[in-house]
Amino acid sequence: MPARASLASVSPPTKPAGRGDVALAAPDPRALLRWYDRHRRELPWRAAPGTRQDSYRVFLSEIMLQQTTVVTVRPYYAAFLARWPTVAALAAAKLEEVLSAWAGLGYYARARNLHACARAVADAHGGVFPDTEAGLLALPGIGPYTAAAIASIAHERRAAPVDGNWERVVARLFAVEEALPKARKRLRALAETLLPDARFGDFAQAMMDLGATVCTPRKPACILCPWRGSCVAQAQGNPEAYPVKAAKAARPTRRGVAFLAVRADGAVLVRSRPEKGLLGGMSEVPSTPWLEGEPADPAAHAPLAAPWQALNGTVGHVFSHFALELTVWRARVAAGTPAPAGHRWVKREGFEAEAFPSVMVKVLEYID
Ligand code: SF4
């Protein structure tokens, strides 16, 4: 729970307008747009002032930016655009190529969705994205946030792409005390009350920029904020208390053994993960199932009979719902060893073409 307002007169945010009875002006969207005109961030996926961005570029950047930082996304965005400059080009790519180019960005379901969506746009819409939120929402892999982002930024539709930045700004402006994730519906409703009458794309991006550069999670720079005179949390003196978040459940640790079979010619035994589920369709070194507790009888899961040797140390990786600890067992086998069903040998020069997730890249460091 946030510290209660030092202003005794601030009412709980359960009131319809959510602004209590502090005498504050309503946030004026034009003030934010004026601020944006002076302080907008220059980003590779952002159109020049006064122009509209292409749907494909908005789509590509927004899918990449989900749960990833701008700094991480920049090189991936440039590489994808250079390799697949249009949605039709991306649709024509093989899924494995897209997954491989995505490696390192994490949350691979996004890469599969990106590809599935590009195919749907190419096949069912002649390579042109729908220009309404509803039309965009009907595409595979496009949720409410991405639909609203493309609709507002590429098509100037009245839409609110409410991301974490929007949520933080709105929660503070209105001092919403309901905790996330339950508060999401209320924050969205309040966000829609802020929308201007025009310049919807700029407004969407202005909210993202305000949240990223001024109304930051820690130490928001309220003195620089165009809405400081309208913000209940700022008036209360406790903006960092918002948004209120429900306590997180502890993240469990799963363990497993990865079997690193290295042939005499340097090739490594790999397989593809099932299309659905965690790291779906990606390449991996075979392993035991990843379960809580110590792996029972790991040898029973070895892909082939070989002189397996357990190596020192573990490979760690943190996924959204669990932490993983893999012990690596390595075996060196003869050059003519055949690959068991569902597996293949891949030489080092072939690694680039494989879609190895970060955790498997760490396992492969144990080859030598
Ligand atoms: S005044 Fe401060 S807390 Fe309120 S929206 Fe602006 S930066 Fe955020």
Q: Is residue 24 a part of any domain in this protein?
A: no
Q: Same structural domain for residues 131 and 226?
A: yes
| 74 C-alpha to ligand 1 centroid (Å) | 27
Are 54 and 135 part of one and the same domain? yes
Cα–Cα distance, 56 to 294 (Å, whole number): 46
**Nearest residue CA, atom 1 of ligand 1?**
228
Pick the closest to residue 146 from 82, 53, 55, 45 (CA basis).
Answer: 55
Nearest protein Cα to ligand 1, atom 3 = 239
**Which residues are paired to 180 by β-bridges?**
245
Which of 189, 218, 241 is the endpoint of a domain?
A: 241
pLDDT reported for residue 11: 35
- DSSP E strands in the chain: the ranges are 253-263, 268-272, 283-284, 291-292, 309-318, 323-333, 343-346
Q: Which domain holds residue 153?
A: 29-241
Q: Which of 42, 62, 192, 292 is catalytic?
A: 62
Q: 136 and 273, same structural domain?
A: no
For residue 88, count other CB atoms closer than 10 A to its CB.
16
Return the pLDDT at 293: 85
Same domain as 217, residue 155: yes
| Angstrom distance (rounded) from CA 264 to CA 334 | 5
Instruction: Kindly state whether residue 132 falls inside one of the protein's structural domains.
Output: yes
Same domain (yes/no): 118, 217: yes
Convert the pLDDT of each residue in 81-134 to its tens digit: 999 999 999 999 999 899 999 988 887 888 999 999 999 999 999 999 999 999
Structure-block tokens of residue 5: 């307002």
How much distance in Å is there from the Cα of 172 to the middle of ligand 1?
6
User: Cβ < 6 Å from ligand 1: which residues?
Assistant: 169, 172-173, 214-215, 220, 222, 225, 227-228, 231, 233-234, 239
Q: Which residue's CA is minimally distant from atom 8 of ligand 1?
A: 215
Q: What percent of the chain has pLDDT above 70?
A: 94
- In the predicted structure, residue 260 carries a pLDDT above the cut 50: yes
Query: Cβ of 354: how many Cβ atoms within 10 Å?
Result: 20
C-alpha closest to that of 259 among 296, 293, 299 = 299
Exposed/middle/buried for residue 131 (C-beta within 10 Å: 0-12, 13-18, 19+): middle
Exposure string of 40-74, with b = 16+ CB inside 10 Å and e = fewer, is beebebbbeeeeebebbbbbbbbbbbbebebeebe
Domain stop point among 182, 207, 241: 241
Mutate to test the pocket of ligand 1, among 39, 209, 214 (most ligand atoms within 8 A of CB): 214
223, 303: one domain: no
Are 159 and 219 members of one domain?
yes
Residue 30 exposure: Cα atoms within 13 Å on the Cβ side: 1
How many domains is the chain partitioned into structurally? 2
The answer, yes or no, to whether the previous bond of 307 is cis (omega within 30 of 0) is no
Regarding whether 155 and 101 lie in a shared domain, the answer is yes
Contact status, residue 90 vs residue 84, Cβ threshold 8 Å:
yes
Residue-wise pLDDT tens digits, 130-168: 999 999 999 998 999 999 999 999 999 999 999 999 999
Angstrom distance (rounded) from CA 190 to CA 59: 25
Query: For the CA atoms of 1, 162, 192, 185, what is the dihedral angle to 10 degrees?
Result: -50
Q: Say if 136 falls within a structural domain.
A: yes
Q: Which residue has the tokens 């025009």?
A: 198
Query: Confidence class of residue 68 from pLDDT cuts 50, 70 and 90?
Result: confident
Gap between the Cα atoms of 241 and 253, Å rounded = 30
**Distance (Å, whole) CA 360 – CA 76:** 19
Digit-coded pLDDT (tens) for 175-210: 999 999 999 999 999 999 999 999 999 999 999 999
| CA separation for the pair 159, 145 (Å, rounded) | 9
Q: Is residue 359 part of a domain?
A: yes
Is position 62 annotated as part of the catalytic site? yes
305 in a domain, yes or no?
yes
Domain boundary among 241, 263, 295: 241
Mutate to test the pocket of ligand 1, among 22, 172, 216 (most ligand atoms within 8 A of CB): 172
Of 11 and 310, the one with more pLDDT: 310
- Regarding whether 194 and 69 lie in a shared domain, the answer is yes
Q: 3-state SS of the chain: helix, strand, coil percent to 5?
A: 40, 15, 45
Can you tell me whether residue 317 is helix, strand or coil?
strand
Instruction: Find tokens 């392993």 and name the residue.
Output: 287
CA–CA distance, 175 with 339 (Å, rounded to integer): 60
